[in-house]
């Protein structure tokens, strides 16, 4: 399958070769209560030097799909189907050891909660150096020197002095920098950042996002940014994929999607957040709750909450929101949406 079929939205002009192709990814969890369908047929591509934001609320499948790429889901209970091609090779068809050889230096990930992602009983220098000891067979001394170098690169002040400190001796922002140092240690081609700044103060958040963008400029890595924060997406990403109930419901360049949403869910999200630029009038929330992934609504999974839904006699033939699943389709050039009536949402 070619890139344009998987992900036809325009990549930024600066983007390079395709690094990652996620093709019809499904992730389900077998639980006593039934099957939880966390990811339901997600496809996208990521190129060198580009930043793709995956925007969604809790339970949208945005983190689980990233964990599937990283191979850090326990299988079972998780069942992963589809294809995840990194530089052309399908990770899901490889042996565990081969996957490790590819992912280790190729794809890395940082998480929201840096404190619980770091081991409290080892110094940060030891944990950063582990990358070099395990993957490159470096000696302890070499590994420590490289750890100091990396801590400098992620702008931790007095790195040589702090290399032997433990995670609890660092602030939240500095811990996230330690995580980033570990993640970029082997010069990965792809960095997946799962809510990297959610737990941080807004001033520190800006510093960390700046650091990630600078590192991307230096190394040309592709960045997948998983977040629920519309502002972070607008300021950092080139393209955005909006997820709901385990599917991508809208995709396009950030400029296009944020200027004029093409899916009622995206539109609802934009209307429900207050903005710092103005006091604004009454918020317009999306009614109801995000769906239970063990019982995703029939048809369009968003239809029970959608103000624009058309049911029964109101619907066009084959486009009843309660029974017909809307595919993710190109609505206008460069923009896809999984809504039967996206043209009306966009006003085209």
Partner 1 sequence: MSPAAGSRRLSKLLVALEKPTGGSIVYKGRDVATMTGRALKEYRREVQIIFQDPYSSLNPRMTVGDIVAEGWSVHSDIAPRKDRLKRTQDLLDRVGLNPDYVNRYPHQFSGGQRQRIGIARALALRPEIIVCDEPVSALDVSVQAQVVNLLEDLQDDFGLSYLFIAHDLSVVRHISDRVSVMYLGSIVEEGTDEQVYTTPSHPYTQALLSSVPLHEPHLRGQKDRILLQGDVPSPADPPSGCRFRTRCWKAQDICATEAPALVDRGQGHPAACHFAEARAVVPVDAE
β-pair partners for 31:
34
CB of 140 to partner 1, least distance (A): 29
329-332/335-337 β-pairing: antiparallel
CB of 302 to partner 1, least distance (A): 11
Nearest CB to partner 1, comparing residues 221 and 286: 286
CB of 194 to partner 1, least distance (A): 16
Nearest CB to partner 1, comparing residues 141 and 279: 279
CB of 276 to partner 1, least distance (A): 5
Nearest CB to partner 1, comparing residues 283 and 313: 283
Exposure string over 157-175, b if 16+ CB within 10 A, otherwise e: eebeebbebbbeebebbbb
| Cα end-to-end span (Å), the chain | 30
d(C-alpha 269, C-alpha 263), whole Å: 10
Nearest CB to partner 1, comparing residues 148 and 174: 174
Nearest CB to partner 1, comparing residues 75 and 284: 284
Nearest CB to partner 1, comparing residues 107 and 300: 300
Neighbour-count burial of 274, counting CB atoms closer than 10 A to its CB (0-12 exposed, 13-18 middle, 19+ buried): exposed
Place of tokens 């190109």: 330
CB of 267 to partner 1, least distance (A): 11
Tell me how far CA of residue 32 lies from CA of 26, 35, 36, 245, 270, in angstroms: 19, 8, 10, 20, 37
Which residues contact partner 1 by CB under 8 A? 57-58, 157, 171-174, 201-207, 209-210, 228-232, 234-236, 254-255, 258-259, 268-270, 272-280, 282-287, 289-290
d(C-alpha 171, C-alpha 203), whole Å: 13
CB of 271 to partner 1, least distance (A): 8
């Amino acid at each position: 399958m070619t890139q344009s079929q998987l992900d036809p939205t325009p990549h930024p002009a600066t983007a390079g070769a395709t690094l990652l192709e996620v093709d019809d990814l499904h992730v389900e969890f077998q639980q006593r209560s039934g099957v939880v369908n966390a990811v339901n047929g997600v496809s996208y591509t990521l190129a060198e030097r580009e930043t793709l934001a995956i925007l969604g609320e809790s339970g949208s499948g945005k983190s689980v799909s990233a964990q599937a790429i990283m191979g850090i889901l326990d299988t079972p209970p998780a069942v992963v189907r589809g294809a995840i091609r990194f530089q052309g090779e399908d990770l899901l068809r490889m042996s565990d050891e081969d996957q490790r050889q590819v992912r280790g230096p190729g794809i890395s990930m940082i998480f929201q909660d840096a404190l619980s992602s770091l081991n409290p009983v080892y110094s940060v220098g030891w944990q950063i150096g582990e990358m070099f000891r395990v993957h490159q067979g470096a000696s302890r001394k070499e590994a420590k020197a490289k750890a100091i170098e990396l801590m400098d690169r992620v702008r931790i002040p007095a790195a040589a002095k702090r290399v032997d400190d433990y995670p609890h001796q660092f602030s939240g922002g500095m811990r996230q920098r330690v995580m980033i140092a570990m993640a970029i240690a082997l010069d990965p081609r792809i960095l997946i950042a799962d809510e990297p700044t959610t737990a941080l103060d807004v001033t520190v958040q800006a510093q960390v996002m700046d650091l990630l963008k600078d590192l991307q400029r230096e190394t040309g890595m592709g960045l997948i940014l998983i977040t629920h924060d519309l502002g972070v997406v607008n300021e950092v990403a080139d393209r955005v994929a909006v997820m709901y109930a385990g599917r991508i419901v809208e995709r396009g360049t950030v400029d296009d999607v944020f200027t004029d949403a093409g899916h009622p869910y995206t539109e609802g999200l934009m209307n429900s957040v207050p903005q710092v630029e103005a006091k604004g009038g009454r918020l317009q929330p999306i009614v109801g709750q995000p769906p239970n992934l063990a019982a995703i609504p029939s048809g369009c999974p968003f239809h029970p909450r959608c103000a624009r839904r058309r049911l029964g006699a109101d619907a066009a033939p084959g486009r009843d929101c309660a029974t017909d699943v809307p595919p993710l389709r190109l609505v206008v050039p460069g923009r896809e949406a999984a809504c039967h009536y996206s043209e009306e949402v966009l006003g085209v």
